[in-house]
Amino acid sequence: MPNRYPPGPANFNFWCGGTWRHAWHLWSDALSFSTHMARRYGDVVFYRLFYYDAYQINHPDLVREVLVTKAKSFVKERRVMGVIRDTAGESVLTTEGPTWQRLRRMLLPAFQSSGGHRLGEIGVRHVAELTDQWHDDQTLAVNATMTDLLLRTAGEALLGIRDRSVIATVADAMSRYSLAATSQITSVVRLPGWFPGSSQSQIERARRTLEPIVDAAIGDRRRRPTSSPDLLDLLLGAVDESGDGQGLSDRQARAEAVSMYFAGHHTAAATLTWTLYLLSQNPDVERRLFAEIDGSIGDRPPTPADLVRLPYTEQVLKESMRIYPPAWNLFLREAVEPVEIGGYTIPRGGWVFIFPWVLHHDERSFPEPWRFDPERFTPDSAERIPIGAYVPFGLGGHACLGGRMAMVALHLMLPALLQRYRFSLAPGQGEPVPEPLISIRPKRDMRMIARLRKRS
Ligand code: HEM
């Protein structure tokens, strides 16, 4: 009979029985707390969060068990999903069971095909529009700038919106929604929607802005297909071929578009932000990357045909997502039945935490984990990384649906940024402190100077 409780910190105190200490530490400094738990207590750690039994999984093999071989014993925790559902609706991101299976079955083939190329092409155009507005020695709040860039890119690619003022409205609503959702997911108390200024009221306001715009975009596209299909076309064209043969209703298409917009923009923005930072700190890598970009594409905008000529760019992005995984923790899982992981029984209702942040900095998988070394991701070296050790896009049935697409888009957008500008930390900007919100971003943003490399 497996043991019930893995090692972990004390969960009781003399005065009031249960302890709120761990919940407080997790809430106030999740990166240090999760790292400390793994280093101190090992591959499976137990702690109590309020009245919930929490299990933190820190070994690649066990991560694989939770997300792949025993995935049927877990669902994504319902409260967090509820917050996302409040704006996005029932989508592949927020559902479980047969509804999720159907949506995933329909959308996966479409999203693994060429959608990334289109996203990338649109992204490159938006990079050009953005950098056209900069001048030599431009000071930037990098995360805010990259987030805005991705909001605009995804607004066009996912919702087919080209009108600048409408994109700005959508981007504003989505950014308000993201902040409010982050606050809801991470806060203990949830104020109702009628409470002025509450995050719930912000979410509802964002939904009221987004819904009519997205509905109009869907209606328009149904009536008038475009000659250059984008992600909205992928959604509207997806059919459940091995099931009922039907496609998505307008309502379902809206839910998918909004949740993908939500899932995709801040993660991709965080990747660009941290990559620019890491390059600024690692001149040898930066030099080699510039040489690849200059030698392969020169001054013209990168296109999907260039991807094969930019292998080092991809390695740089992957290594950046290792050191700063945008999804620093996976969605919290809840056991739906007792299940054995690593010799311990996780009871029904038990919470399971998997932190890419912890796994990606584990010396057993990545020696000298803080060294920025894109050589870890040459094809030969990458093959030696254990499954479950590197999970920027998750693993198993719920792994990121847009992961491949996001990689392609970033693989084109990063060279487009670096063709023209070189980035260094602004004077007075200290080392950025990673802040784990929905994705990981520099606390109080990060100021960098963009210096012109070449006149366009
Ligand atoms: C750098 C960019 C991105 C990162 C790092 C990222 C990361 C992730 C991760 C870690 C998960 C799995 C969460 C879990 O298992 O708990 C996930 C799921 C998901 N992502 Fe992404 N993502 C990115 C971009 C995108 C984009 C561009 C889209 C859509 C266009 C997208 C759509 C989704 C969806 C729909 C899911 C849920 C899949 C399911 O549950 O079946 N993501 N993402």
Percent of the chain with pLDDT over 90: 65
Residue 324 reports pLDDT greater than 90: yes
Residue 327, ligand 1, Cβ within 6 A: yes
Residue 81, pLDDT score: 84
245-267 average pLDDT score = 90
Tokens of 433: 């402190």
Higher pLDDT, 378 or 158: 378
Question: Structural domain tally of the chain?
Answer: 1
To test the ligand 1 pocket, which listed residue (400, 404, 412, 414) has its Cβ within 8 A of the most ligand atoms? 400
Residue nearest to atom 28 of ligand 1 (CA): 402
Q: Is residue 2 part of a domain?
A: no
Question: How far apart are the C-alpha atoms of 44 and 234, rounded to whole Å?
Answer: 40
Residue 264 reports pLDDT greater than 70: yes
Residue 131, pLDDT score: 96
Convert the pLDDT of each residue in 284-312 to its tens digit: 999 999 999 999 999 999 999 999 999 99
What mean pLDDT, rounded, does the chain reach? 90
Q: Is residue 1 part of a domain?
A: no
Higher pLDDT, 121 or 86: 121
Q: How far is CA 83 from CA 19, 36, 51, 89, 342, in A?
A: 26, 29, 21, 10, 31
Q: How far is CA 245 from CA 230, 248, 260, 418, in A?
A: 22, 10, 23, 45
Instruction: Give residue 383's domain range.
Output: 12-452
Cα(395) to centroid of ligand 1, in Å? 10
Least confident of 37-46, 254-263, 312-321: 254-263
Residue nearest to atom 10 of ligand 1 (CA): 393
Residue 272, ligand 1, Cβ within 6 A: no
Residue 226, pLDDT score: 76
Convert the pLDDT of each residue in 165-174 to its tens digit: 888 888 888 8
What confidence category does residue 164 fall into, taking pLDDT thresholds of 50, 70 and 90?
Answer: confident
Residues in the chain, total: 456
Q: Which ligand 1 atom is nearest residue 407's CA?
A: 1
What confidence category does residue 3 fall into, taking pLDDT thresholds of 50, 70 and 90?
Answer: low
Residue nearest to atom 39 of ligand 1 (CA): 398
Cα(217) to centroid of ligand 1, in Å? 23
Q: Is residue 4 part of a domain?
A: no
Q: Is residue 7 part of a domain?
A: no
218-230 average pLDDT score = 82
Residue 259, pLDDT score: 87
What confidence category does residue 454 fall into, taking pLDDT thresholds of 50, 70 and 90?
Answer: low
Q: Which ligand 1 atom is nearest residue 333's CA?
A: 16
Residue 162, pLDDT score: 79
- The CATH number for 400's domain is 1.10.630.10
Interacting residues of 421 by C-beta distance below 8 A, sequence separation 6+: 131, 134, 138, 450, 451, 452, 453
Cα(219) to centroid of ligand 1, in Å? 26
Residue 364 reports pLDDT greater than 80: yes
Residue 456, pLDDT score: 44
Q: Is residue 437 part of a domain?
A: yes
What confidence category does residue 89 fall into, taking pLDDT thresholds of 50, 70 and 90?
Answer: confident
Q: Is residue 110 part of a domain?
A: yes
What confidence category does residue 17 fall into, taking pLDDT thresholds of 50, 70 and 90?
Answer: low
Question: How far apart are the C-alpha atoms of 155 and 166, rounded to whole Å?
Answer: 9
Question: How far apart are the C-alpha atoms of 160 and 431, rounded to whole Å?
Answer: 38
What confidence category does residue 82 fall into, taking pLDDT thresholds of 50, 70 and 90?
Answer: confident
Residue 192, pLDDT score: 59
Cα(212) to centroid of ligand 1, in Å? 25
Cα(118) to centroid of ligand 1, in Å? 18
Amino acid identity at 422? R
Q: Is residue 3 part of a domain?
A: no
Q: Is residue 5 part of a domain?
A: no
Residue 168, pLDDT score: 85
Question: How far apart are the C-alpha atoms of 281 and 279, rounded to whole Å?
Answer: 5
Question: How far apart are the C-alpha atoms of 355 and 281, rounded to whole Å?
Answer: 25
